[in-house]
A and B are shown apart, each in its own frame.
Chain A
Amino acid sequence: MIHPPAEREQGWQRAAELEPRSAAEEPEVELYRQVYAAVRAAPLPEAPLGFAARMEREALAQAERRRRVEAVEGWGVRLGLALLLALLLVSVAPWLLPRLGGWSFEAPWLPVLGSGAALGLWSLVERRRVV
């Protein structure tokens, strides 16, 4: 196989592509063949036996842990937001409710009940969305 001089001089042919163009080139080509042979024969570590199966077990276990953490984080965020909402309602309701309908505020548990109901509704909607 003959290569254009420019390509040969670049020196990135593989061993199988190296052919001497003349008898004078033979020692040089033989040198490069030795180099390629050495590169291919150089020891390289291999994955230990059973590596693939072990990686599958570890990856699946990690994915399961991730799902659990995400689920807990999801509920943590929802719970935090619900508590904030309840706090807001408890703070605002005594001022807001009488102005909305002339309803005097005498039941402090009402906003808490309301926020609890809102949280329940939200959870149901979320659950339907996820499923």
Chain B
Amino acid sequence: MMTDDQRLVAAVRAEEPGAFARLVDRHQKLVWHLIYRMVGHPEDTRDLCQELFLRVHQRLPQFRFDAALGTWIGQIAWSLAARHLRKKRLPLVDLEPREGEETSPALEIRDQLDLEAELERSEGLRLLAVELEALPSLPRTLVTLYHVDELPIAEIAQITRLPAGTIKSQLFRARKTLRDRLVKVLGERP
């Protein structure tokens, strides 16, 4: 019994009209998210996504279903984006805390903080979106894959070839960084 992915791959290999377009359509969202979060530039993202799908088409005859099709495409996307960052000498991850960044767990919000009143939702979202963009490539990408695309940690580990523990700690640190910056923003507001 063939799975949906196997049927699709067979159709692409047989060059059935529309088959590869279906494959692209099915996986393009994850790929655009992953590459954009890695490289952080819309033009580069578009070029890399095009290069990725041409490469997927070229390599599809060698695909043996050792992983899910989406995971395999994600792995190629990850490699391409990582190579792009290396070429541009951009770091994948910045492990040092930024200057002035509060990392102590002792940072607490005020007891009487009323979030509904303090923070207009749309402005809070906008501010945090900016903070998310400011994260280094790796945590920014992992946060998006986990919280937006809702991939399980095991699948993210397969795509990135990083240990699950590393992914969890990166998620933890990214989430905490965003939380601390949100608190800072709230604290600075009149």
Contacts and interface: CB of A to CB of B under 8 A. Distances in A.
Contacts of B42: 45
B28 A52 contact: yes
B33 A39 contact: no
A2 to B, nearest CB: 19
Nearest to A40: B148
A55 B171 contact: no
B168 A12 contact: yes
B50 A55 contact: yes
Contact of B20 (A15, A28, A56): A56
Interface of B: 15, 18-22, 24-25, 28-29, 32-33, 36-37, 42, 45-46, 49-50, 53-54, 57-58, 109, 111, 113, 115, 119, 121, 124-125, 127-129, 131-133, 143-144, 146-148, 150, 153, 168, 171-172, 175-176, 178-179, 182-183
B148 A37 contact: no
A75 B128 CA distance: 60
Given A10-B172, A12-B153, A55 B53 contact: yes
B125 A38 contact: yes
Contacts of A14: 146-147, 150
A43 interface: yes
